[in-house]
Chain A
Amino acid sequence: AQKVTQAQTEISVVEKEDVTLDCVYETRDTTYYLFWYKQPPSGELVFLIRRNSFDEQNEISGRYSWNFQKSTSSFNFTITASQVVDSAVYFCALSEARAAGNKLTFGGGTRVLVKP
């Protein structure tokens, strides 16, 4: 069965520091998709990125970057020069192609607190 583990439950940093969120996944499927979502206090999950299992290229989007390593089943997320607005809970998620649909398995989330 699929599983996503986010070992860090909470990270506290001071503004402008970099923060890296770890995500380790388990799946038996060869084709799968990985996602990161941000959940601010308002409750809505905001989509950040989607990767498929065949695309191991790292990606950078502004202050956000993602490191996908199939060899270690990890999909880590780094926020560079953090800002107070980055304070939120971040979720890593996995969906398997064989599930024939968009069933997401989420990790437990990492709460990021950025202090001014």
Chain B
Amino acid sequence: KAGVTQTPRYLIKTRGQQVTLSCSPISGHRSVSWYQQTPGQGLQFLFEYFSETQRNKGNFPGRFSGRQFSNSRSEMNVSTLELGDSALYLCASSLVRGSENTEAFFGQGTRLTVV
């Protein structure tokens, strides 16, 4: 069974540009979450999507957005990039099993560098 796939693995962008990151979940997983990891702030939750709807959102500015497609694949977009957006962006997928919070399986991440 294929794991969570994130593309691209590495990205270098200039301040002010926008970027789109992609995530393909494990087959059958309908919940997709995104996290930002930086040395200073650690791992922080960005948002979660389930059935093409945002179900949870973290404390990030509106420049960070996402969406989920009918095949559960997800994208996140960051507009007007700032130097502080340089981070490892991790995507995770989970099974949805009633009201239980199931384990999340993570991709290898996209390392974004803003210059």
Task: Evaluate contact between A43 and B88: CB separation under 8 angstroms.
Answer: yes
Task: Evaluate contact between A102 and B42: CB separation under 8 angstroms.
Answer: no
Task: Evaluate contact between A102 and B33: CB separation under 8 angstroms.
Answer: yes
CB-CB < 8 A to B45: which residues of A?
Answer: 103-105
- Chain A proximity of B17: nearest CB distance (Å): 23
CB of A106 within 8 Å of the partner chain = yes
**What would 5 more interface pairs be, CB under 8 Å, given A37-B106, A52-B100, A97-B101?**
A42-B108, A44-B109, A50-B102, A100-B99, A105-B45
CB of A99 within 8 Å of the partner chain = yes
Task: Evaluate contact between B104 and A104: CB separation under 8 angstroms.
Answer: yes
Main secondary structure of the interface of B (DSSP, over half): strand
State which size class the interface on B falls in.
20 to 34
* Chain A interface, number of residues (Cβ within 8 angstroms): 28
Residues of chain B at the chain A interface (Cβ within 8 Å): 31, 33, 35, 42-45, 48, 50, 55-56, 58, 88, 90, 92, 94, 99-109, 111
- Chain A proximity of B4: nearest CB distance (Å): 9
CB-CB < 8 A to A50: which residues of B?
Answer: 102-103
Task: Evaluate contact between B106 and A101: CB separation under 8 angstroms.
Answer: no
Known contacts A44-B108, A106-B43, A109-B42: does B56 contact A35 (CB below 8 Å)?
Answer: no
